Amino acid sequence: MSPVTAHFTALDVHDVRFPTSDSLDGSDAMNPNPDYSAAYTVLRTDAGDSLEGQALAFTTGPGNDLQIRAIEGLADWVVGRSVEQVLSDMGAFSKELIHEPHLRWLGPEKGVVHMAAGAVINAAWDLRAKRAGQPLWQHLALLEPEELVSLVDFRYLTDALTRGEALEILEGMKATRAEREERLLKEGYPAYTTTPGWLGYSDDKLDRLAREAVEQGFTMIKLKVGADVADDVRRMKVARAAVGDGIRIAVDANQRWDVGPAIDWMRALAPHDPYWIEEPTSPDDLLGHAVIRRAIHPIKVATGEHVANRVVFKQLLQADAVDIVQVDAARVAGVNENLAILLLAARHGIPVCPHAGGVGLGEMVQHLSMFDYVAVSGTWEDRVIEHVDHLHEHFVTPVRLERGRYRAPLAPGGSGEMLAASVAQHRYPDGPVWTARRS
Amino acid sequence: MSPVTAHFTALDVHDVRFPTSDSLDGSDAMNPNPDYSAAYTVLRTDAGDSLEGQALAFTTGPGNDLQIRAIEGLADWVVGRSVEQVLSDMGAFSKELIHEPHLRWLGPEKGVVHMAAGAVINAAWDLRAKRAGQPLWQHLALLEPEELVSLVDFRYLTDALTRGEALEILEGMKATRAEREERLLKEGYPAYTTTPGWLGYSDDKLDRLAREAVEQGFTMIKLKVGADVADDVRRMKVARAAVGDGIRIAVDANQRWDVGPAIDWMRALAPHDPYWIEEPTSPDDLLGHAVIRRAIHPIKVATGEHVANRVVFKQLLQADAVDIVQVDAARVAGVNENLAILLLAARHGIPVCPHAGGVGLGEMVQHLSMFDYVAVSGTWEDRVIEHVDHLHEHFVTPVRLERGRYRAPLAPGGSGEMLAASVAQHRYPDGPVWTARRS
C-alpha cells in the first residue's frame, strides 16, 4: 500500500568501474590510463510505484570513492523529504543543494561537491520524468516557459542573461515546439564519433575506424591530439585520407597546452583542415581560449566538459572565447545548471555540442540537446552530440544511433539507469570483474 | 636508531572542529553559521628526529569529513617514499600530486582534491623547514632564485609569466634580501583586523571593537557587508565615526552580489570611503570583477580566498580585474602554487594581502607575505595581512601581533602545528567539546 504522501527513503551510491585502461579506449594526452567509472546514484522512495531516480557522476577510476562519499554526504538533504514537494520545485531544490554554505565552502560550485549535487539533481529529474511517463527531453520540452525559468539559478548571470531575457527566448520557441518534436522523432539528432581517434590507437586502426565511421553515416569524426606534434600531423593525414574532404575532423587536446603552444600546434595541423580544436588549454583559462581563437581562425575553438559551472560558461561567451559550447551531463550541477548554460548559449547564438564519452554520458546528455532543439535554440544547424561506441550495453535504455544520428529516446526518464547485472559485475572492488583480475 | 634513509611512514588526518557558530564569530553574508574546522594533516617519518610535518585544510564544519577523506586518499603518493627525495625536489612532488590524471579529473585543480594536495604539500614544507631549523618564510627567502623557480608549475602560465621572467624578478631582489629580513625582524609586517566587523555583531560591539582596534595600532579594519544595504550604510557610519578619517575601512561581501547590485551597493557605501570591496561576486567571475572595478573606482577591488588556482589568478591580473590579490594558505595547492601567485602579482605590480580568518590560516599565510617582502615583491607598501583575533591559542606557535603588525615567526616550520590537547578536545564527533554539547 502506498502512503498518502511519498517520501525519499534512500540515496544509494554504487562504485561501478570498467577496466577500460586495458584496451586504451578513452586514452588521451592527459588521461593515459582511465578506468571509466560511475558514482552511480539511486534515489528511492516509499511511493510504492517501483520507480527510482537514477543518474551518475563520471570519473576515471581512482577517486571514484571520493566522489561517492561526496554524493552520500547529500543524503541528509534528500532522505525523508516529500517526493512531491521536491520534484514540484526543482529550482528551489537545486539552489538549496548548491548554496548550502558549508558545502559551498568546498567549491564554491566546482569539483567534487558540485558534481555530487549534479548527480542528485539528475537522479531527481530522472524520477520526475519517469513519474510523468515521459523521456526527459520531452518532459522538459513540454514545460511552460515560466516553469523553465523558475528552474534556473540566475545568481551571477544577470549581467549576461536576465530572467526576462531567458523567458523571451523560451516564449519565442514555444509556438513551433511541436513541429520540431515531430521532426526530431522522425530524423534523429546529428551525431559525431570519437571512436576512431583515441591516442593509443595505431594508424591502421585509425584508418579503418575512420572509414567505418563514414560508412555508418557520420559526417564528423574526432581525433585526440597533443602528445607529439609530428604524430598528430601524421594521424591527421591518415584520417583525412580515410574520410575525404567532405567530412569534418575535429581534434581534441584535453587541456594539454599553454596558449602559445596551442597556437603553434594548430597551425601545424591547419593544412589538413581541422574543424574545431577542443580543450586546447586549461578549462579555467577563458582569456587564453579567446587569444587562441583569434589566432587560429577559421579553425573553431570548443570547450566545456571540464568547465566548472555556469559562471565560467558565461564568461567564455562574454569574452568571445569559444565557437562551440560543450555541455556535460555530469560535470555541473545537473539539468538545472545545464538549462542555464543552454540559455546562455542561445542568447549568444553559439551552438551547443555535448561531451558524451565516458560511461553513460551520452545516454544522459542526449536529452539536453534534444530539449535544446525543441524548446531553446530551435535548431540543430552545426550542432552534433558526441558518440563513443563503448559501454552502452550496460544501460537499460542505451543510446540508439542510426545513420550518424541519435534516435530520440522514448522510454520514460533520463536514460541513466544501469542494468543491475552490470552494476553487480563491475562493483569496485568486490565485483567479479575486479576480483577476477586480482586472482 | 634512525635509518640511513628516512621514509614517510604515515599521513594522519584529524577532524578538528570549533563551535564558532555559537558566538557568530566568523558570520558573514554567505556563511551565517560556520563552525571553523580543520582537516588537520600530519606527515610522519621514521627519521627518528621526532619531527613531523603539520598543516591543515580549512572548512566551515559539515564537509570537513569529505576534505579529510580527500587528503587521506593521497597517502599512497607519500607513504613509503624517501623523505630526502621528496623534500629535495618539492617542485616535482607538487606537480605529481596536482597532475595525477585520475585526481585531476575531479577538479581539475580545484575544490576538495586541490585543497587536499595543498594540505599535503604544506605539511611537507613544514617538515622541510623544521629539518632546516628555520621558520618557513626565512627558509624560502634563503633559497637561490634558480631553486625557487624550480618549485613553480608554469603550466598554463607562460602567456603571462615565463620561467625567465620569474627568475628575473627573484634575481632582482636577491642583493637586498638581507636588509629587508633585518627590517622585518625589527618592525614586523603590517596587519589589519577583521575582528570588529562580523555581520552578526551589534552596532555597539562594532563601535567598541573598532575603537579598540585603533588603540591597538591597526591602521585598517574590515567590515562584513552584503546582507542589507541600509544596515551596511549604518554600520559603515558607525565604524567611520569610531575610527576617524585616517584609518582605512575595507568591506567584504563574501560573493553575495551579481555585477550590477555590487556596483549599486558600493555606490551607496562610497560616501563613507571604503578602501576596498572584497569578494563582491563569484570568485570565478573575473570579467565581472573587472566591470565592477571600473565602475566603482577609486574604491579598490580585492579577491582570492576562494580563487581556485593560479590560472584564475593569472586572468584576474590579465583582465585588470583586481587591485589586490588575496592569497590563502590552504585553498590552492600549497606553498608552490602560492609562490606562482606571488610571482604573477609581482610581475603585474599588484599588492598581495592574504586572507587569514578561519583557523590557522594566519599562522600559515604570514610566512608567504614575509617571504614575498624579503624575496619577491620587496615591499610592504599597501600590503597588509588580515588578522582575526580567535582560535590562535590552539597553535604551538601562534601569530604574534604588536602595534598592528605581525612579528616574524622565529620557530622552525610553517606554524600550522596545533596543540595536542586542542586536537584531542575538539576532535569531531568524539572529542569532549562535542560530546558535552550532545549530552
pLDDT, one tens digit per residue, over B140-153 is 999 999 999 999 99
Position B31 confidence tier, pLDDT thresholds 50, 70, 90? confident
**How far, in Å, are A18, A63, A66, A401, A419 from residue A422 at the CA level?**
10, 20, 21, 21, 5
Q: Directed axis angle between helix A111-132 and helix B64-72, to 10°?
A: 110
Q: For residue B3, name the pLDDT band (cuts at 50, 70, 90).
A: low
B window 157-196, beta carbon within 8 A of A: 157-159
Question: Do A104 and B30 count as a contact with CB atoms less than 8 A apart?
Answer: yes
Residue (of A208, A252, A246, A205) closest to A227 by Cα position: A252
The Cβ of residue B397 has, within 10 Å, a number of other Cβ atoms equal to: 17
Nearest alpha-carbon partner for B387 in B367, B350, B361: B361
Task: From the options 3.40.50.300, 3.20.20.70, 3.20.20.120, 3.40.50.2300, give the CATH code of A177-424.
Answer: 3.20.20.120
The dihedral over CA atoms of B315, B317, B322, B326, expressed in degrees to the nearest 10, equals 90
Q: Does pLDDT of B25 surpass 60?
A: yes
Question: Which residues share a beta bridge with A166?
Answer: none
Cβ-based contacts of B309 with chain A (< 8 Å): 284
Return the CATH fold of B177-411: TIM Barrel (3.20.20)
**Residues in chain B within 8 Å Cβ distance of A108:** 255, 282-283, 306
What pLDDT, on the 0 to 100 scale, is given for residue A3?
54
Peptide bond into A429 cis (omega under 30): yes
Sole residue written with cell 576562494? B306
Cα torsion for A371, A372, A376, A380, to the nearest 10°?
-130
**Parallel, antiparallel or unpaired: strands A189-197 and A385-387:** parallel
Q: In Å, how far is A68's CA from the nearest CA of chain B?
A: 10
**Do B308 and A311 contact (CB within 8 A), yes or no?**
no
A146 burial type by CB count under 10 A (0-12 exposed, 13-18 middle, 19+ buried): exposed
**B405 min Cα distance to partner chain A (Å):** 29
User: Contact, A437 vs A430, CB < 8 A?
Assistant: no
Residue A439's pLDDT band (boundaries 50, 70, 90)? confident
CB < 8 Å to A291, chain B: 159
| Runs of H (alpha helix) within A162-245 | 163-174, 177-187, 203-215, 229-243
Cell of B433: 567539546
The structure's pTM equals 0.98
DSSP string of A211-234? HHHHHTT-SEEEEE--S-HHHHHH
Three-state SS for A210? helix
Percentage, residues of chain B above pLDDT 90: 93
DSSP string over A18-82: --GGGTTTT--SS-SS---EEEEEEEEESSSS---EEEEEEE-STTHHHHHHHHHTTGGGTTTSB
Other residues' Cβ atoms within 10 Å of the Cβ of residue A1: 3
Q: What is the pLDDT of residue A27?
A: 73
Helix (H, G, I), strand (E, B) or coil at B408: coil
Interface of B with A in 131-160 (CB under 8 A): 154-159
Q: Which tops the pLDDT comparison, B398 or B26?
A: B398
Cβ distance B342 to B382 under 8 Å? no
Q: How far is B41 from chain A (nearest CA, A)?
A: 17
Higher-pLDDT residue of A22 and B187 is B187
What mean pLDDT do residues A141-152 have? 98
CA distances from A44 to A9, A89, A330 (A): 6, 18, 20
What's the CA gap between A54 and B110, in Å, rounded?
27
Q: Which residues fall within 8 angstroms of residue A296, CB to CB, at 6 or more apart?
A: A263, A266, A267, A270, A277
Best of B30, B112, B331 to disrupt the A interface (most A CBs within 10 Å) is B112
Does domain A8-133 fall under CATH 3.30.390.10? My reply is yes
Q: Tens digits of per-residue pLDDT, B320-332? A: 999 999 999 999 9
Grid cell in block for residue B425? 578536545
Instruction: Report which of B129, B252, B71 is spatially closest to residue A63, judged by C-alpha positions.
Output: B71
- The catalytic residue among A110, A130, A139, A224 is A224
For residue A208, give every residue at least 6 positions away whose Cβ sits within 8 Å of its Cβ, in sequence order, or none: none
Start-end of H helices in A258-360: 259-269, 286-296, 310-318, 334-348
DSSP state of B417: P
Q: Which of B111, B284, B312 sits opposite A106 (nearest CB)?
A: B111
- Give CA torsion, residues A301, A305, A309, A311, to 10 deg: 0
Mean pLDDT calculated for residue range A354-380: 97
pLDDT, tens only, B73-87? 999 999 999 999 999
B1 band by pLDDT with thresholds 50, 70 and 90? very low
> In angstroms, what CA-CA distances link B384 with A182, A292, B19, B343?
64, 37, 28, 17
For β-strands B8-17 and B37-45, DSSP reports them as antiparallel
B245-299: per-residue pLDDT in tens?
Answer: 999 999 999 999 999 999 999 999 999 999 999 999 999 999 999 999 999 999 9
Distance from C-alpha of A276 to C-alpha of A382, rounded to nearest angstrom: 12
Using CA coordinates, name the residue in chain B closest to A263.
Answer: B159
pLDDT of residue B439: 78
Specify the pairing of strand A300-303 against strand A324-325: parallel
Name chain B contacts of A102, Cβ cutoff 8 Å: 34, 59-63
Q: Which of A257, A264, A270 minimizes the C-alpha distance to A226?
A: A257
Query: Is the reported ipTM for this assembly greater than 0.90?
Result: yes
> Does the structure show a pLDDT above 90 at A161?
yes
Whole-number average pLDDT of chain B: 96
Residues B308 and B104 sit within 8 Å (Cβ to Cβ)? no
- Chain B CB within 8 Å of residue A379 CB: no
Q: How far is CA B108 from CA A59, A200, A332, B113, in A?
A: 12, 22, 13, 8
- CB < 8 Å to A30, chain B: 101, 104
Q: Which CATH number fits domain B8-174: 3.40.50.10860, 3.40.190.10, 3.30.390.10, 3.40.50.10540?
A: 3.30.390.10
The DSSP H or E segment spanning B12 is strand B8-17
Q: What residue spans define the domains of chain A?
A: 8-133, 177-424
Interface of A with B in 397-436 (CB under 8 A): none
The answer, for B369 touching chain A at a CB cutoff of 8 Å, is no
Rounded to an integer, what distance in angstroms lies between the CA atom of residue B341 and that of residue B336? Answer: 9
- Judge residue A91's burial from the number of C-beta atoms within 10 Å of its C-beta, 0-12 exposed, 13-18 middle, 19 or more buried: middle
Q: In angstroms, what separates the C-alpha of B310 from chain A's closest C-alpha?
A: 10
**Residue A305: what pLDDT?**
98
Instruction: Specify the length of chain A in residues.
Output: 439
pLDDT of B68 > 50? The answer is yes
pLDDT at A1: 46
Question: Between the CA of residue A20 and those of A159, A338, B24, B183, what are the distances in Å?
Answer: 43, 28, 50, 59
Q: Are strands B405-406 and B189-197 parallel, antiparallel or unpaired?
A: antiparallel
| Residue B78, helix vs strand vs coil | coil
DSSP track, B100-144: -HHHHTT-SS-HHHHHHHHHHHHHHHHHHHHHHTSBHHHHHHTS-
CB B146 within 8 A of CB B168: no
Q: Give the H/E segment covering residue B41.
A: strand B37-45
